[in-house]
Amino acid sequence: MTTITRFAFISVLALASCNKESDPIQPAPVASFSVAGAASNDVIKVGTYDAIVVTNTSTKADTYTWSLGNDSIKTGADPRIFRYSKAGTYSLTLTVQNADGQKSSTSRTIRVLDRVVKQVAIVFARFENASPPHIFDRPTLQAVVRLGPDKVTYPDPTNRYTSYNAPVVFRSPLVQNVTENQFPLIFPLTERLVLDIPTLTNPLEYRGRNKTGYSGVGYGLELYMQDATGTYLASSSYQSLYLTQAGNITLRDDIPNNKFTVQYSNIKLQGQYE
Protein backbone atom coordinates (compact mmCIF):
# COMPACT_ATOMS: atom_id res chain seq x y z
CA MET A 1 0.00 0.00 0.00
CA THR A 2 1.45 3.34 -1.01
CA THR A 3 1.90 6.17 1.44
CA ILE A 4 -0.87 8.19 -0.21
CA THR A 5 -3.30 5.26 -0.17
CA ARG A 6 -2.48 4.51 3.46
CA PHE A 7 -3.11 8.16 4.44
CA ALA A 8 -6.48 8.23 2.65
CA PHE A 9 -7.59 5.02 4.37
CA ILE A 10 -6.67 6.36 7.83
CA SER A 11 -8.51 9.61 7.08
CA VAL A 12 -11.71 7.73 6.18
CA LEU A 13 -11.53 5.76 9.43
CA ALA A 14 -11.02 8.92 11.44
CA LEU A 15 -13.92 10.66 9.76
CA ALA A 16 -16.22 7.72 10.40
CA SER A 17 -15.15 7.69 14.03
CA CYS A 18 -15.93 11.42 14.36
CA ASN A 19 -19.41 10.99 12.82
CA LYS A 20 -20.20 8.12 15.16
CA GLU A 21 -19.20 10.09 18.24
CA SER A 22 -21.30 13.09 17.16
CA ASP A 23 -24.50 11.02 17.00
CA PRO A 24 -24.86 9.41 20.45
CA ILE A 25 -27.80 7.17 21.41
CA GLN A 26 -30.64 9.13 23.08
CA PRO A 27 -31.41 8.39 26.78
CA ALA A 28 -34.28 5.96 27.21
CA PRO A 29 -37.64 7.54 28.15
CA VAL A 30 -39.32 6.79 31.47
CA ALA A 31 -43.13 6.74 31.67
CA SER A 32 -44.60 8.08 34.90
CA PHE A 33 -47.75 9.86 36.10
CA SER A 34 -49.48 10.67 39.37
CA VAL A 35 -53.18 10.84 40.26
CA ALA A 36 -54.47 13.60 42.52
CA GLY A 37 -55.48 12.30 45.95
CA ALA A 38 -54.01 8.81 45.46
CA ALA A 39 -50.75 7.26 46.67
CA SER A 40 -48.47 5.70 44.08
CA ASN A 41 -49.50 2.10 44.78
CA ASP A 42 -53.20 2.64 45.50
CA VAL A 43 -56.04 1.17 43.49
CA ILE A 44 -57.88 4.35 42.52
CA LYS A 45 -61.56 4.21 43.48
CA VAL A 46 -64.00 6.63 41.85
CA GLY A 47 -67.68 6.82 41.05
CA THR A 48 -68.98 6.87 37.51
CA TYR A 49 -68.31 10.21 35.76
CA ASP A 50 -65.96 11.36 38.53
CA ALA A 51 -62.92 13.36 37.45
CA ILE A 52 -59.56 11.55 37.60
CA VAL A 53 -56.94 14.29 37.59
CA VAL A 54 -53.55 13.09 36.34
CA THR A 55 -50.15 14.78 36.19
CA ASN A 56 -47.64 13.51 33.65
CA THR A 57 -44.19 13.14 35.28
CA SER A 58 -42.49 11.22 32.44
CA THR A 59 -38.94 12.07 31.35
CA LYS A 60 -36.99 11.97 28.05
CA ALA A 61 -40.15 11.42 26.01
CA ASP A 62 -41.49 13.03 22.84
CA THR A 63 -44.91 11.39 22.39
CA TYR A 64 -47.51 10.26 24.93
CA THR A 65 -50.37 7.76 24.49
CA TRP A 66 -52.96 7.13 27.20
CA SER A 67 -55.05 3.94 27.09
CA LEU A 68 -58.06 4.02 29.43
CA GLY A 69 -58.63 0.27 29.31
CA ASN A 70 -62.09 0.65 27.76
CA ASP A 71 -61.09 0.97 24.08
CA SER A 72 -60.58 4.71 24.54
CA ILE A 73 -57.23 6.27 23.59
CA LYS A 74 -56.01 9.81 24.21
CA THR A 75 -52.74 11.46 23.24
CA GLY A 76 -50.77 14.40 24.56
CA ALA A 77 -48.44 15.21 27.40
CA ASP A 78 -51.08 16.82 29.61
CA PRO A 79 -54.59 15.33 29.29
CA ARG A 80 -55.34 16.35 32.92
CA ILE A 81 -58.77 14.73 33.39
CA PHE A 82 -60.22 11.31 32.60
CA ARG A 83 -63.74 10.04 33.31
CA TYR A 84 -65.40 6.63 33.13
CA SER A 85 -69.13 6.28 32.43
CA LYS A 86 -69.49 2.58 33.32
CA ALA A 87 -68.61 0.67 36.48
CA GLY A 88 -65.74 -1.81 36.24
CA THR A 89 -62.02 -2.26 36.82
CA TYR A 90 -59.75 -0.61 34.26
CA SER A 91 -56.01 -0.28 33.62
CA LEU A 92 -55.03 3.30 32.84
CA THR A 93 -51.78 2.98 30.88
CA LEU A 94 -49.36 5.66 29.70
CA THR A 95 -46.94 4.72 26.92
CA VAL A 96 -44.20 7.20 25.99
CA GLN A 97 -41.67 7.20 23.15
CA ASN A 98 -38.59 9.22 22.26
CA ALA A 99 -37.21 10.26 18.86
CA ASP A 100 -35.19 7.02 18.59
CA GLY A 101 -38.35 4.92 18.91
CA GLN A 102 -37.57 3.75 22.43
CA LYS A 103 -40.71 3.17 24.51
CA SER A 104 -41.71 2.95 28.16
CA SER A 105 -45.08 2.19 29.78
CA THR A 106 -46.65 2.42 33.23
CA SER A 107 -50.17 1.63 34.49
CA ARG A 108 -52.53 2.39 37.36
CA THR A 109 -55.61 0.35 38.30
CA ILE A 110 -58.88 2.29 38.29
CA ARG A 111 -61.93 0.82 40.01
CA VAL A 112 -65.09 2.60 38.89
CA LEU A 113 -68.14 2.13 41.11
CA ASP A 114 -71.88 2.62 40.71
CA ARG A 115 -73.74 4.69 43.28
CA VAL A 116 -76.56 2.43 44.51
CA VAL A 117 -79.42 4.05 46.41
CA LYS A 118 -80.23 2.10 49.58
CA GLN A 119 -82.87 4.29 51.17
CA VAL A 120 -84.99 7.38 50.65
CA ALA A 121 -85.71 9.72 53.54
CA ILE A 122 -88.13 12.55 54.25
CA VAL A 123 -85.89 14.63 56.46
CA PHE A 124 -88.47 17.25 57.45
CA ALA A 125 -91.75 18.87 56.42
CA ARG A 126 -93.44 22.16 57.11
CA PHE A 127 -96.93 21.81 58.52
CA GLU A 128 -97.95 25.31 57.60
CA ASN A 129 -97.36 27.74 54.75
CA ALA A 130 -97.20 24.78 52.36
CA SER A 131 -98.29 25.15 48.77
CA PRO A 132 -100.91 26.40 48.28
CA PRO A 133 -101.08 28.16 51.67
CA HIS A 134 -102.51 25.60 54.04
CA ILE A 135 -102.15 24.34 57.60
CA PHE A 136 -101.80 20.58 58.12
CA ASP A 137 -102.78 18.69 61.25
CA ARG A 138 -101.19 15.21 61.39
CA PRO A 139 -101.08 14.80 57.60
CA THR A 140 -100.23 11.77 55.47
CA LEU A 141 -96.79 12.06 53.77
CA GLN A 142 -95.25 10.36 50.75
CA ALA A 143 -91.88 10.68 49.02
CA VAL A 144 -91.72 10.29 45.24
CA VAL A 145 -88.65 10.10 43.00
CA ARG A 146 -89.12 10.62 39.25
CA LEU A 147 -86.66 10.34 36.37
CA GLY A 148 -87.28 11.72 32.91
CA PRO A 149 -85.90 9.71 29.96
CA ASP A 150 -83.29 11.22 27.66
CA LYS A 151 -84.58 13.51 24.91
CA VAL A 152 -88.13 13.51 26.35
CA THR A 153 -89.89 16.79 27.14
CA TYR A 154 -93.07 17.46 29.09
CA PRO A 155 -95.55 20.30 28.87
CA ASP A 156 -95.26 22.78 31.68
CA PRO A 157 -97.73 22.04 34.50
CA THR A 158 -100.97 23.95 34.25
CA ASN A 159 -100.35 25.40 37.70
CA ARG A 160 -97.26 25.83 39.79
CA TYR A 161 -98.35 23.30 42.42
CA THR A 162 -98.27 20.26 40.12
CA SER A 163 -95.37 18.25 38.71
CA TYR A 164 -94.10 16.99 35.38
CA ASN A 165 -95.59 13.59 34.63
CA ALA A 166 -92.17 11.91 34.39
CA PRO A 167 -91.90 8.18 35.21
CA VAL A 168 -91.74 7.27 38.91
CA VAL A 169 -88.67 5.23 39.93
CA PHE A 170 -89.57 5.19 43.64
CA ARG A 171 -92.73 5.83 45.59
CA SER A 172 -92.68 5.46 49.36
CA PRO A 173 -95.51 3.98 51.40
CA LEU A 174 -98.00 6.47 52.78
CA VAL A 175 -97.14 7.50 56.34
CA GLN A 176 -100.22 8.65 58.19
CA ASN A 177 -100.75 10.97 61.15
CA VAL A 178 -97.24 12.41 60.95
CA THR A 179 -96.05 14.77 63.67
CA GLU A 180 -92.98 17.00 63.70
CA ASN A 181 -91.03 14.76 66.10
CA GLN A 182 -91.11 11.75 63.76
CA PHE A 183 -88.48 12.92 61.27
CA PRO A 184 -86.57 11.59 59.49
CA LEU A 185 -88.90 9.07 57.89
CA ILE A 186 -86.73 6.32 56.33
CA PHE A 187 -87.79 4.04 53.48
CA PRO A 188 -85.37 1.18 52.59
CA LEU A 189 -85.32 0.14 48.93
CA THR A 190 -86.16 -3.44 48.09
CA GLU A 191 -84.88 -3.24 44.48
CA ARG A 192 -81.51 -2.09 43.15
CA LEU A 193 -81.57 1.55 42.07
CA VAL A 194 -78.38 2.88 40.46
CA LEU A 195 -78.03 6.64 40.53
CA ASP A 196 -77.92 7.97 36.95
CA ILE A 197 -75.29 10.71 37.23
CA PRO A 198 -75.83 12.50 33.86
CA THR A 199 -79.49 13.12 34.74
CA LEU A 200 -78.80 14.83 38.06
CA THR A 201 -78.46 18.29 36.59
CA ASN A 202 -80.15 20.21 33.84
CA PRO A 203 -78.77 21.77 31.67
CA LEU A 204 -76.37 19.14 30.54
CA GLU A 205 -73.37 19.51 32.78
CA TYR A 206 -72.31 17.30 35.64
CA ARG A 207 -71.28 19.65 38.48
CA GLY A 208 -70.69 22.33 35.85
CA ARG A 209 -67.64 20.52 34.42
CA ASN A 210 -68.58 17.71 32.06
CA LYS A 211 -71.15 17.62 29.29
CA THR A 212 -72.89 14.26 29.17
CA GLY A 213 -75.31 14.71 26.30
CA TYR A 214 -78.43 14.03 28.40
CA SER A 215 -81.35 16.35 27.54
CA GLY A 216 -84.28 15.19 29.67
CA VAL A 217 -85.77 16.79 32.80
CA GLY A 218 -83.59 14.67 35.10
CA TYR A 219 -84.51 13.59 38.61
CA GLY A 220 -87.58 14.90 40.35
CA LEU A 221 -87.41 14.64 44.15
CA GLU A 222 -90.85 15.38 45.54
CA LEU A 223 -92.83 15.48 48.77
CA TYR A 224 -96.59 15.03 48.81
CA MET A 225 -98.78 15.91 51.81
CA GLN A 226 -102.39 14.82 52.21
CA ASP A 227 -105.22 15.62 54.61
CA ALA A 228 -109.01 15.70 54.48
CA THR A 229 -108.93 18.56 51.99
CA GLY A 230 -106.82 16.79 49.39
CA THR A 231 -103.26 15.97 48.28
CA TYR A 232 -100.69 18.74 47.94
CA LEU A 233 -97.30 18.87 46.22
CA ALA A 234 -95.26 20.32 49.09
CA SER A 235 -91.93 20.47 47.23
CA SER A 236 -90.47 19.38 43.90
CA SER A 237 -87.09 19.83 42.23
CA TYR A 238 -88.98 20.21 38.93
CA GLN A 239 -90.69 23.43 39.95
CA SER A 240 -88.99 26.80 39.68
CA LEU A 241 -91.15 27.97 42.60
CA TYR A 242 -89.39 25.51 44.91
CA LEU A 243 -85.96 25.85 43.31
CA THR A 244 -85.87 29.49 44.36
CA GLN A 245 -86.45 28.33 47.92
CA ALA A 246 -84.24 25.24 48.12
CA GLY A 247 -81.72 25.51 45.28
CA ASN A 248 -80.64 22.63 43.08
CA ILE A 249 -80.21 18.94 43.79
CA THR A 250 -76.90 18.34 45.59
CA LEU A 251 -74.63 15.29 45.45
CA ARG A 252 -72.18 14.64 48.29
CA ASP A 253 -69.67 11.83 47.78
CA ASP A 254 -67.72 10.06 50.52
CA ILE A 255 -65.87 7.18 48.86
CA PRO A 256 -63.50 6.52 51.82
CA ASN A 257 -66.55 5.78 53.99
CA ASN A 258 -68.49 4.12 51.15
CA LYS A 259 -71.49 6.43 51.21
CA PHE A 260 -73.11 9.23 49.25
CA THR A 261 -76.19 11.42 49.57
CA VAL A 262 -78.38 13.20 47.06
CA GLN A 263 -80.72 15.81 48.45
CA TYR A 264 -83.25 18.32 47.32
CA SER A 265 -85.05 20.23 50.08
CA ASN A 266 -86.71 17.65 52.34
CA ILE A 267 -86.04 14.52 50.26
CA LYS A 268 -82.72 12.70 50.60
CA LEU A 269 -81.36 9.64 48.79
CA GLN A 270 -78.68 7.72 50.68
CA GLY A 271 -76.55 4.95 49.27
CA GLN A 272 -73.28 3.07 48.84
CA TYR A 273 -70.73 2.41 46.11
CA GLU A 274 -70.84 -1.00 44.44
Nearest to 234 by CA among 141, 146, 121: 141
Whether residue 102 is contained in a domain is answered as yes
Predicted pLDDT of residue 216: 82
Q: Are residues 71 and 165 in the same domain?
A: no
Tens digit of pLDDT at every position of the chain (274 positions): 555 444 444 444 444 444 445 556 779 999 999 999 998 888 999 999 999 999 999 999 999 999 999 999 999 999 889 999 999 999 999 999 999 999 999 999 999 999 999 999 999 998 986 567 789 999 999 999 999 998 888 887 777 677 888 999 999 999 999 999 999 999 999 999 999 998 885 433 333 333 567 888 889 999 999 999 989 888 888 876 554 455 688 999 999 999 999 999 999 999 999 9
170 lies in some domain: yes
What is the structure's pLDDT at 40? Answer: 83
Q: Kindly state whether residue 89 falls inside one of the protein's structural domains.
A: yes
Same domain, 171 and 60: no
Statement to judge: residues 181 and 259 lie in one domain: yes
Calpha distance 90→95 (Å, rounded): 16
Structural domain total, the chain? 2
264 and 131 fall within a common domain: yes
Strand partners, 90: 110
Of 113, 131, 154, the position where a domain reaches its end is 113
CA neighbor of 33 nearest in space, from 92, 83, 98, 75: 92
Instruction: Classify residue 12: in a domain, yes or no.
Output: no
Residue 53 within a domain: yes
CA distance 260 to 195: 10
Minimal CA–CA distance to 267: which of 228, 238, 244?
238
Q: Which domain holds residue 51?
A: 33-113
57 and 168 belong to one structural domain: no
End position of a domain, from candidates 113, 148, 181: 113
Classify residue 19: in a domain, yes or no. no
**Whether residues 85 and 217 fall in one domain:** no
| Domain stops at, among 79, 113, 147 | 113
Same domain for 161 and 264, yes or no, is: yes
CATH of the domain at 59: 2.60.40.10
Q: Are residues 133 and 257 in the same domain?
A: yes
CB atoms within 10 A of CB 24: 7
d(CA 127, CA 186) in angstroms, rounded, equals 19
- Give the ranges where the chain is alpha helix by DSSP (H): 3-21, 240-246
Do 194 and 253 lie in one domain? The reply is: yes
pLDDT value at position 23? 55
| Shared domain check, 200 and 65 | no
| pLDDT score for 207 | 39
CA–CA dist 159, 176 (Å, integer): 26
Q: Distance between CA 219 and CA 239 in Å, rounded?
A: 12
In a domain, 126, yes or no: yes
Question: In this structure, are 169 and 220 located in the same domain?
Answer: yes
Asked whether residue 26 is assigned to any structural domain, the reply reads no
Q: Cα(147)–Cα(131) distance, rounded to whole angstroms?
A: 23
Residues 134 and 57 in one domain: no
Report long-range pairs for 124-128 (Cβ below 8 Å, ≥24 apart): 124/183, 124/184, 124/266, 125/178, 125/183, 125/223, 125/225, 125/234, 125/266, 126/234, 127/180
Q: How many residues does the chain have?
A: 274
Q: Is 206 exposed, middle or buried, given 0-12, 13-18 or 19+ CB atoms closer than 10 A?
A: buried
